[in-house]
Amino acid sequence: MDGVASWPPSRIISWEQYERNQALIAANAHMKSRMQPKAARGGKALLAGLIRCRRCGRMLHISYTGTQGVVPRYHCKGAHVNHGEDWCISFGGARVDDAVSREILQAISGNAIEAAVNVAEKLRSQQQERRRMLELELEQARYEAKLATRCYEAVDPDNRLVAAELEARWNAGLQKVQEIEKRISAFDVQDSRPAVPDRELLMSLAQDLPSVWRATSNMRLKQRIVRILIEEIVADVEEKHREVILLIHWAGDRHSQLKVNKKATGQHNRTHSPEAVEVVRRMASNYSDEQIAATMNRMGLRTGANNTWNEQRVYALRRSHHLPASTSTCAQTLTLEQTAERLGVSATCVRHMIERKLIPATQAIECAPWQIPVRALESAEVRNAVSAVKNRLRRNGRKPKEQQDLFNRIERGEA
């Protein structure tokens, strides 16, 4: 009808745009999964909707544990839900997310960006060279077609056999020109890529992104960054070596494998290191908790909560691992300082006698206090060595507190 506008206004989109829209809708439809990676929608798990089970091909589910429900855990329970079978794999998400984060930051580091830009520039130059070769081929085909045209026009029309042959060559030349023009058009459509990005801009972004990544708490933003770089991750668990094996499919058809240690049952983020447990195990029966704590601090070991050691923390570790307390007594062994005090010489003098094998001494581990038997101090060699040091000190009028400096000069041959 006249004067009546059509509603709604019609708009026709291309088939390519329609397919892109359908793919975007499918990626966002989490409740209608077709075992495909899904879009980022926040949460506490970095790889939610992106990690797949290697054994059955299903996307892994996410559950949250901990007192406040903030620790993610990945598990494949599709077979359990659908068929009542056992779970395929299950592992904690904290270590896996941290490992993948390190891989991503390394992938976008300055050296990686530099290499990527160089490769992009090289590919661009190769494409330009291929375009130039097609242009030269087209130029040669056009010349041959023009030459065939002149030969056909110059032939005697009465000579029909020659004219038919030249006409066939002329048609073949024209067809060759058309084929090369189509190849050039197809090449231009395929090579319609954006120009190589600015090198300085990418380098600045590579330097800023690690600090932004660690500072931001927006998990949805991190997930979107991950999906730009990674298409999918296939996960499996190696129970024998307690490792989570991740096969990362990067954008651009690149693949890499990453292995992450899997925690044993009962372990958590504050579990003490095996080195610290082994030190306590070797020293528990012969040293006090205070001595063990001092030794581990000298070795640079920390607790599971990244604290220094003290007597109470060593006691708690012993109790949790059912390790016995010290059974040694002062009447049986002495430390280096106690030995020096009993002999009336400096600790350096005692250490020198240990090095000369005059005093037998042992250490449970490096940096642990020396254990010196009391009966070894009664030997004639030890008494003679101590007497020699004291006589020299007496002749020089030295006080006991100056023994260490004097002994050092004696060793250097200066006294």
The predicted model gives 62-86 an average pLDDT of 75
Distances (CA, A) of 405 to 195, 221, 415: 73, 64, 10
Per the model's pLDDT, the better-predicted residue between 194 and 327 turns out to be 327
pLDDT for res 37: 62
pLDDT band at 50 (very low <50, low <70, confident <90, very high): confident
Question: What length is written for the chain?
Answer: 415
DSSP, res 59: B
3-state secondary structure of 13: coil
Q: Is the pLDDT of residue 247 over 90?
A: yes
C-beta separation of 52 from 34 below 8 A: no
Provide DSSP, 146-191: HHHHHHHHHS-TT-HHHHHHHHHHHHHHHHHHHHHHHHHHHHHHHT
pLDDT for res 401: 47
Q: Which amino acid is at 218?
A: N
Contacts of 83 (CB under 8 A, 6+ apart): none
Q: Which amino acid is at 71?
A: V
Q: How much of the chain exceeds pLDDT 70, in percent? A: 74
DSSP, res 401: G
Task: Give, for 319, the enclosing helix (H) or strand (E).
Answer: helix 311-320
Quote the CA–CA distance of 43 and 219 in Å, as a whole number: 6
Per the model's pLDDT, the better-predicted residue between 287 and 328 turns out to be 287
Q: Is the pLDDT of residue 399 over 60?
A: no
What are the structure tokens assigned to 296, written together?
């581990």
Distances (CA, A) of 237 to 150, 240, 262, 280: 74, 9, 8, 31
Percent helix / strand / coil, the chain, rounded to 5 = 55, 10, 35
The predicted model gives 65-80 an average pLDDT of 75
Quote the CA–CA distance of 33 and 78 in Å, as a whole number: 12
Instruction: Work out the number of other CB atoms within 10 angstroms of the CB of residue 14.
Output: 8
What are the structure tokens assigned to 34, written together?
């077709």
List the one residue out of 83, 66, 64 whose CA is nearest residue 74.
Answer: 64
pLDDT tens across 198-210, in order? 666 666 666 666 7
Quote the CA–CA distance of 34 and 31 in Å, as a whole number: 9
pTM above 0.75, yes or no: no
C-beta separation of 376 from 299 below 8 A: no
Quote the CA–CA distance of 294 and 99 in Å, as a whole number: 33
State the helix-helix crossing angle for 336-343 and 347-355, rounded to 10 degrees: 110
pLDDT band at 93 (very low <50, low <70, confident <90, very high): confident
The predicted model gives 304-318 an average pLDDT of 86
Quote the CA–CA distance of 171 and 151 in Å, as a whole number: 12
Distances (CA, A) of 209 to 214, 215, 223, 254, 411: 9, 10, 14, 22, 57
